Structure 1
Amino acid sequence: MVFKLADETYGLDSPADASVSVGGTDIARKVCIQPNPQRCYAEDVVLPRERADGWMELELGEFVYEGEEDGDVSFSLVEMKRLDGKNGLFMQGIEIRRKNQIHLF
């Protein structure tokens, strides 16, 4: 996920549940929108990192594509701990990148 945060945000300091689904398989993890783990009030969460272009990126998950499957890939990011409003999140979009792979012969 590629995003920016406003100078002042509200409601974005709780851990969120991120998932990637493909072919009926769900991969889930805890993530934090805030780059500072103390603002997220949680341990063992994936934190965002700043990109060279000034935007932040947060890895929501990963999946394996074998080249023989057809189907949809879906992403979700849900935070239900704080049910009040949230503001200050500017989404650019989702970027899907290939990871480096090791081929064994």
Structure 2
Amino acid sequence: MDSSEVAELIEVWWLQIKVRFDVKKLNKQTNYAAFLVFKLDRPENLERVSASVTFGREITDSKDSRYFVFLDKERISGEEGRFPQRRDDSWMEINLGEFYNDLGNDGDLKICIWEKNTDNCKCGLFVRAIELRPVDCSSDA
């Protein structure tokens, strides 16, 4: 690990990370992506966790507003969800979702990552940051 501050998941039965951003501090009329920056060290029971990125409304557990992210798993054919990528600085990152900051007055951006299966203890996750980055959506066409 480097010398920057990180949060370590030592041993828990319920994983939940909630973050709220004030979008007024972001550039207006800009598309953004939210990335979880993390490392794994002997992880347990973190293969498949849920994530939700909502903009201007409350986080819900509804199936329509959530999806799976795979922190400890390589991409497997047939699996639906988001998978991590290795960064040049040896950390991993996973795209948690995208949003459009129109005029900066649509409310807060809310991000939630959770794994609520209490049958298995979870450990081995180091979280460095959740980064918001402008993205160019014009190449999606």
TM class by shorter chain equals 0.7 to 0.9
Q: 1:74 and 1:64, CA in 2 relative to 1: closer, same or farther beyond 3 A? A: same
1:5 CA drift (Å)? 0.5
**Which 5+ residue runs of structure 2 have no aligned equivalent?**
1-35, 60-64
Partner residue, 2:43: 9
Partner residue, 1:31: 69
TM-score normalised over the length of structure 1: 0.79
Is 2:55–2:106's contact at 8 Å kept on the other side of the alignment?
A: no
Is 1:49–1:58's contact at 8 Å kept on the other side of the alignment?
A: yes
Q: 1:10 and 1:32, CA in 2 relative to 1: closer, same or farther beyond 3 A? A: same
**SS in structure 2 at match of 1:44:** coil
Is 2:57–2:108's contact at 8 Å kept on the other side of the alignment?
A: no
CA distance in 1, matches of 2:58, 2:110: 10
Partner residue, 2:90: 54
For 1:17, the aligned partner's letter is: S
Once structures 1 and 2 are overlaid, which stretch shifts more, 26-35 or 87-96?
A: 26-35
The one-character-per-residue Cα deviations of 1:65-101 (angstroms, maximum 9, x if unpaired) are 1125242111111122453211110000100001114
RMSD: 2.1
**Which 5+ residue runs of structure 1 have no aligned equivalent?**
none
Q: 1:99 and 1:25, CA in 2 relative to 1: closer, same or farther beyond 3 A? A: farther
The one-character-per-residue Cα deviations of 1:17-53 (angstroms, maximum 9, x if unpaired) are 1111111176432111114246xxx711210000000
Q: 1:10 and 1:59, CA in 2 relative to 1: closer, same or farther beyond 3 A? A: same
Partner residue, 1:66: 102
For 1:31, the aligned partner's letter is: V
How many residue pairs get aligned? The number is: 97
CA distance in 2, matches of 1:99, 1:25: 24
TM-score normalised over the length of structure 2: 0.61
Normalized per residue, the structure richer in strand is 2
Partner residue, 2:23: none
- Percent sequence identity over aligned pairs: 33
